[in-house]
Chain A
Amino acid sequence: MAHEHAIAPQPRQTFTGNRALDIEEPLLFDIGRADTTGVDIDAPGDFAPRLGGLEQTRAPDLPGLSEPEAVRHYVRLSRMNYSIDAGLFPLGSCTMKHNPRLNEKMARLLGFADIHPLQPQSTVRGATALMAELAHWLMTLTNMSAVALSPKAGAHGELAGMMAIKAAIVARGEQATRNVVLVPDSAHGTNPATAALIGFRVRSVPAGEDGLVHPAAVREKLGPDVAAIMLTNPNTCGLFEREVVEIAAAVHEAGAYFYCDGANFNAIAGKVRPGDLGIDAMHINLHKTFSTPHGGGGPGAGPVVLSERLAPFAPVPFLRRDGEDFTLVEHATGSQAFGRVTAFHGQMGMYVRALAYMYSHGADGLKQAAEDAVLNANYVRACLSNIMSQPFGDRPCMHEVLFDETWLKNTGLTTLDFAKALIDEGYHPMTVYFPLVVKGAMLIEPTESESRASLDLFVMAMRDLALRALRGEKERFEHAPRFAPRARLDETRAARSPVLKWRKRAPVADAAE
C-alpha cells in the first residue's frame, strides 16, 4: 500500500481532508465507472463486421465519467498546478513568458484547426501562405538562407539541424573521417544526446573561468575529424559568447560546421542576427522566443534555420513558390534533402500562435521584448548581487542571471532547500543544478512579461529568504514546501520500484487499510 513508508500522517483537520479551496482529487480510476459515459453516441444498427476476424468481444476495460464529473475532476487537478498565468515563473533556460490569448483564438480558427494535412493543396493555400510568412520572419530575424519548419520540438530541431550537417558531410564524402562533434561542458544535455543519436562521437570543450568558450580551447579540440561544434548562444550561463565570431571562423577554417543551440534566442531576437555571427544551423523554440504555451511539457515546435551551405539538405516538406502561392514539396526525389523528420508538415497549431505573436510585436516590439528580458534579468542581478554569489563575478548578463551556492556555505542549506522554500512564497523555483558546470546553480529568467512591481516583490522575497538562510534561521527551509499540495516527494522510491500505471488494489490490501 502507498502509505507503508509514511513518516507521519498529517492530522486530519477536516472530515474530508480538504482545506477550503485546497481540494484533494482521487484518480480517475477510483471514481470512474465502467458503464458510464460522457458522450452520447447513437448506436448503429446491426451489421456484420469486416474486421478480418479480429474483433474484440468486450469494450476496453476503462472507466468513464459523465461530463459534469469529468469537468470537476480535471478542474480540481488543474488547481494543483503552478502556472505562468498565476505567478512569476523564473525558470531559467525555459522562458516562461506570457502566452497571449489572441494566439489561442487564432489557432482555433476553423481554417487552421480543422484542415487535414493531406487534403488537396489547392484547398489549403492560406495554410501554406502562413507557413511561408512564418519562414520569412524567422529567416529575416536570423539572416539565414532557409528554414525547416517541421521539427516538433527544440530537441527535434536540433536533431534535424545536425542531420543536415551530417548530410553535407556525406555529400563531401567525408563521413568516414569527420565523425566528432564538439560540445562545451555547459551545454544542454540534448546536445550530446543528439550528436550521439546519429552516430557522432562527442568531444567536450571546457568553458573558461569566465563562463565563456574561448577560441583557443576550441582550436585545441578541432581537427580533420571534427564535423561540427554545438554551441549555445547566449549560453546556458546567461552570457553572450563574446568571441563567437572568432569561434565560427576557427570552426569553418577546420572544415566543420557551426550548430547553434537557439534555446536562448529570445534574448537577442531583433538585436543580433545569428547569421551574421557565422552560424550554419540553429533551432528556434517557438514556445520560448515566440510564446506558444508550454502546456505542462509540450507540444513545442523547433524550426531550424540553415545557412546557404546547408540549405540544399533541408528535409521535406519544404515550400516552393508557385507564382502568388506556395506549394509543399513532400518528396525528396531529385533533391539533396536528407529525408523527413516527421509525418505531415510539423506543428501548424504552433506556427499560427508564433505568427500571431510576431504580428502583434512587429520588428519594434520584438526588439523591445528582447531588451526588456535582458533588463529584467539584470535588475534581478543588481538587487541580489550583494547577498548571493555569482560564479563568474558581477557582470552584465543576458536574459537570465546565474547564481551558485557558494554563498550558502556554512548555512547547512542547499540550492534545493532554497528552491523549495520559494514555493511557499508563492513562486515557482528558478532552474536549479543547471548548468552542470556550476555547483548548486540557480538560473533565474524573469522574462519581459514581469512588471517592475512584480520583480520588486520577487526580489524582496528572495532577499528575505537569503537573509534568513545566512542568519541560520532554518525553519523556512526545513520541510519546505509546507503549503503546497504535496510536501517533498520520494523520488528514490518512485525510481526503485516503478509504479507507472494504476492497478486494481488487491482485496487483502484494502482490508488491511
Chain B
Amino acid sequence: MRYLPHSPQDRADMLARIGVEKIDDLFVDAPRDKLIDGLVDLPRRKSELEAERALARMAARNTPASSVPFFVGAGAYKHHVPAAVDHLIQRSEFLTSYTPYQPEIAQGTLQYLFEFQTQVAALTAMEVANASMYDGSTGCAEAVLMAHRITRRRKAVLSGGLHPQYAEVARTLSAMAGDAVETMGPDVSAREDIVARIDKDTSCVVVQSPDVFGNVRDLRPIAEACQRNGALLIAVFTEAVSLGLLTPPGAMGADIVVGEGQSIGNGLSFGGPYVGLFATREKFIRNMPGRLCGETVDANGKRGFVLTLSTREQHIRREKATSNICTNSGLCALAFTIHMTLLGGRGLRELARVNHANAIKLADMLGDAVLNRSFFNEFTVRVKADAAALVERLAARGVLAGVPVSRLLPGAGLDDLLIVASTEINSDDDRATLAAALKEAL
C-alpha cells in the first residue's frame, strides 16, 4: 500500500519489540466477537491511476460553471480567482499544519490569521473580527446565540430577505436551544416593516444586504430601532465582493456582522468548504464564538502572534463555553486573505464595479421583468412560467440561468421568480444568450 511505509518484516520486528505475537494482541480490549473476521464488505485497494479514473468519471457527469453561460448565485458566487491563490494555499506548510497550538512553530498561520482579522474588520467597518467560522450560515446562527448571551433575551427576528437556508439553520439551532425565532415572510421587494417587530423582548434582528433577492437594504433605521429597544442588529451578507462598493454594515450601525467569504479566494465546490466572516464591537469580544488570534511578544521581545482569549472556548470552559467550535476554516481564510491582498482595497472596488456594471447591463436587457429597485450583482426576475421547469429546460440547452425561488422556498407561491447573478465572469455574449433564452418566458 503506497501510503504505508512498513514492510511485513518491519511489522514482525516491531511486534517482537513490543513483546506480542500478533497485531490483534494489541486490540485486546476490543470484545473478541466484535473484531471483524477478514475484511468489511467494500472493494479492495486501487492504484492511483484506477482511483483517479473512478473519480474522474463522476466529475465528468457534472456541468462546471466555467463550461457554460453561468448566472447562478443566491449565496455562492462564481468569481475568477488568481492562480497564485490556489498555488500558495497548497504550500505544505499551510496545507498540512495543525491549529496553531504551538505558536513558536506556527507563526505563519498565526500571522495570516491576524492579517485576515484585520482585513475582515476593515471591510465590514467593525472593531474586531475572529479567525473565521465554518461558513456564513453557521456564523449567522452563532451570532443569534451570541446576541442572546449579551442581551439576556431569547427572541430573534429574522428578515424575510435573509437567505432561507440561513434562516433555517438559525431556526434549527434556536429551536434546539429552546429560544424563540420569528421569521418574516418572504420579502421579494424589500418592503417589510421589520422595525415594527422589535420590542423589549427582542434580542436581535437579522437582516441581509444585499438580500437573497438581490435588494440592497439601508440598515440605519433598523439599527436605530434596535438601539432604542436594547436589541442588537446582526447584519448578514452572502456576497463579500459587494463590500467593495457598498456602505459597510459597520458604518450603518450593525452590532454583529456575519457573512460568507467564499466569493473572495474560494471556488464554488458544490457548497463547501467555505469561510464564515464574523465581526463585532470590541466590547463584545468575550462573548464571541470561534478562534481569535492576537499580537504579543516572545521572550526575546520580538513581535509574535498567539491564539488568545481561549477562556471563552470549549477546551477550557467545557459546558460553559461560548460555543462548541474548535476549528475555524483556516485554509479558506488563507485563500480569502491572499486574494484580498492581491486585490487591495482599490482592486476590490474595481472588481465590485465590474460586477455591478455587468448586472446593470443584464437587467437592462431583461427590462420590466426585473423586480428590484436596487441590486449589486444579483436580482430577481419574474418569468411567465414555472421558473424551476424553465431552469431545467435552459440547462438542457447549455445555459445555467439562475436559482428558482421555489428551490429555496417551496410552497411559498413564488414559483415564477428566478434569482439571477451576473459577475465579472460573464461576457456580453453570455448575457445575450441568457436574455434570448429567457425571452420566450418573459
Chain B residues contacting A294 (CB-CB under 8 Å) are 96-99, 330
- Whether B318 is near chain A, meaning CB under 8 Å from some CB there, is yes
Once the chains bind, are A82 and B216 in contact (CB under 8 Å)?
no
Contact digits for A112-130, partner B, Cβ 8 Å, 1 yes 0 no = 1111111110111111011
- Whether A110 is near chain B, meaning CB under 8 Å from some CB there, is yes
Which B residues between 123 and 157 are near A, CB-CB below 8 angstroms?
123, 128-129, 131-132, 134-138, 145
Chain A residues contacting B107 (CB-CB under 8 Å) are 77, 80-81, 485-486
A385 to chain B, nearest CB (A): 10
Query: Which of B63, B166, B334 interacts with A115 by CB under 8 Å?
Result: B63
- Whether A83 is near chain B, meaning CB under 8 Å from some CB there, is yes
Known contacts A189-B318, A345-B272; A83 and B308 CB within 8 A of each other: no
Which B residues between 313 and 342 are near A, CB-CB below 8 angstroms?
313-321, 323-332, 334, 338, 340-342
Chain B residues contacting A155 (CB-CB under 8 Å) are 314, 324-327
Known contacts A52-B218, A71-B84; A47 and B269 CB within 8 A of each other: no
- Whether A32 is near chain B, meaning CB under 8 Å from some CB there, is yes
Query: Which of B10, B105, B121, B216 interacts with A54 by CB under 8 Å?
Result: B216
Distance between Cα atoms of A124 and B76 in the complex (Å): 16
Distance between Cα atoms of A158 and B290 in the complex (Å): 16
Known contacts A152-B272, A423-B105; A363 and B40 CB within 8 A of each other: yes
Once the chains bind, are A271 and B52 in contact (CB under 8 Å)?
no
Contact digits for A91-134, partner B, Cβ 8 Å, 1 yes 0 no = 10010101110101111111111111111101111110110010
Chain B residues contacting A141 (CB-CB under 8 Å) are 40, 42
Which A residue sits closest to B121, measured CB to CB?
A501
Chain A residues contacting B75 (CB-CB under 8 Å) are 117-118, 343-344
Query: Which of B97, B296, B411 interacts with A333 by CB under 8 Å?
Result: B411
Once the chains bind, are A62 and B172 in contact (CB under 8 Å)?
no
A351 to chain B, nearest CB (A): 9
Contact digits for A476-509, partner B, Cβ 8 Å, 1 yes 0 no = 0001010011111111011100111110000000
Once the chains bind, are A73 and B410 in contact (CB under 8 Å)?
no
Distance between Cα atoms of A299 and B132 in the complex (Å): 10
- Whether A219 is near chain B, meaning CB under 8 Å from some CB there, is no
A384 to chain B, nearest CB (A): 12
- Whether B403 is near chain A, meaning CB under 8 Å from some CB there, is yes
Among the listed stretches A5-13, A252-260, A303-311, A407-415, which one makes contact with chain B, having 4 or more residues with CB under 8 Å of it? A5-13
Once the chains bind, are A198 and B176 in contact (CB under 8 Å)?
yes
- Whether B23 is near chain A, meaning CB under 8 Å from some CB there, is yes
Known contacts A64-B345, A155-B314, A500-B117; A194 and B271 CB within 8 A of each other: no
Among the listed stretches A221-229, A372-380, A464-472, which one makes contact with chain B, having 4 or more residues with CB under 8 Å of it? A372-380
Which A residues between 325 and 368 are near B, CB-CB below 8 angstroms?
330-331, 333, 338-350, 352, 355-356, 358-368
Distance between Cα atoms of A116 and B319 in the complex (Å): 37
Distance between Cα atoms of A101 and B243 in the complex (Å): 35
Which B residues between 216 and 238 are near A, CB-CB below 8 angstroms?
216-218
Known contacts A59-B349, A83-B92, A190-B326; A77 and B112 CB within 8 A of each other: yes
Once the chains bind, are B341 and A28 in contact (CB under 8 Å)?
yes
Chain B residues contacting A35 (CB-CB under 8 Å) are 344, 346
Known contacts A28-B115, A64-B346; A8 and B301 CB within 8 A of each other: yes
- Whether A60 is near chain B, meaning CB under 8 Å from some CB there, is yes
B4 to chain A, nearest CB (A): 6
Contact digits for B167-188, partner A, Cβ 8 Å, 1 yes 0 no = 0110111011110000000000
- Whether B196 is near chain A, meaning CB under 8 Å from some CB there, is no
Once the chains bind, are A498 and B342 in contact (CB under 8 Å)?
no
Once the chains bind, are B306 and A494 in contact (CB under 8 Å)?
yes
Once the chains bind, are A298 and B331 in contact (CB under 8 Å)?
yes
- Whether A67 is near chain B, meaning CB under 8 Å from some CB there, is yes
Once the chains bind, are A98 and B60 in contact (CB under 8 Å)?
no
Instruction: Classify the interface of chain A: helix, strand, loop or mixed.
Output: loop
Once the chains bind, are A363 and B319 in contact (CB under 8 Å)?
no
- Whether B19 is near chain A, meaning CB under 8 Å from some CB there, is yes
Once the chains bind, are A363 and B39 in contact (CB under 8 Å)?
yes
Chain B residues contacting A53 (CB-CB under 8 Å) are 218
Query: Which residue of A45, A100, A347 has the most chain B CB atoms within 10 A of its CB atom?
Result: A347
Distance between Cα atoms of A369 and B6 in the complex (Å): 10
Once the chains bind, are A484 and B36 in contact (CB under 8 Å)?
no
Which B residues between 361 and 404 are near A, CB-CB below 8 angstroms?
363, 372-376, 391-392, 395-396, 400, 403
- Whether A37 is near chain B, meaning CB under 8 Å from some CB there, is yes
- Whether A315 is near chain B, meaning CB under 8 Å from some CB there, is yes
Known contacts A6-B300, A297-B100, A344-B75; A166 and B176 CB within 8 A of each other: yes
Chain A residues contacting B97 (CB-CB under 8 Å) are 81-84, 294-296
Known contacts A155-B325, A485-B105, A501-B121; A50 and B269 CB within 8 A of each other: no
Distance between Cα atoms of A50 and B360 in the complex (Å): 8
Query: Which of B46, B244, B391 interacts with A359 by CB under 8 Å?
Result: B46
Query: Which of B44, B314, B343 interacts with A189 by CB under 8 Å?
Result: B314
Once the chains bind, are A489 and B134 in contact (CB under 8 Å)?
no
Once the chains bind, are A37 and B360 in contact (CB under 8 Å)?
no
Once the chains bind, are A32 and B341 in contact (CB under 8 Å)?
yes
Known contacts A61-B345, A155-B326, A294-B96; A360 and B45 CB within 8 A of each other: yes
Chain B residues contacting A479 (CB-CB under 8 Å) are 299
Once the chains bind, are B104 and A10 in contact (CB under 8 Å)?
no
Once the chains bind, are A124 and B63 in contact (CB under 8 Å)?
yes
B386 to chain A, nearest CB (A): 13
- Whether A153 is near chain B, meaning CB under 8 Å from some CB there, is yes
Query: Which residue of A65, A77, A277, A396 has the most chain B CB atoms within 10 A of its CB atom?
Result: A77
Once the chains bind, are A85 and B92 in contact (CB under 8 Å)?
yes
Distance between Cα atoms of A193 and B216 in the complex (Å): 37
Which B residues between 342 and 363 are near A, CB-CB below 8 angstroms?
342-351, 353-354, 356-358, 360, 363
Distance between Cα atoms of A295 and B266 in the complex (Å): 14
Distance between Cα atoms of A33 and B76 in the complex (Å): 30
Once the chains bind, are B94 and A78 in contact (CB under 8 Å)?
yes
Distance between Cα atoms of A482 and B95 in the complex (Å): 25
- Whether A3 is near chain B, meaning CB under 8 Å from some CB there, is yes
Once the chains bind, are B271 and A3 in contact (CB under 8 Å)?
no
Give the top 7 A-B pairs by smallest Cβ distance, nearest first: A64-B344, A6-B301, A111-B59, A344-B271, A339-B172, A126-B61, A295-B331
Listed A/B pairs (8) with beta-carbon separation below 8 Å:
A80-B111, A106-B52, A122-B395, A156-B138, A195-B319, A330-B407, A345-B271, A486-B103
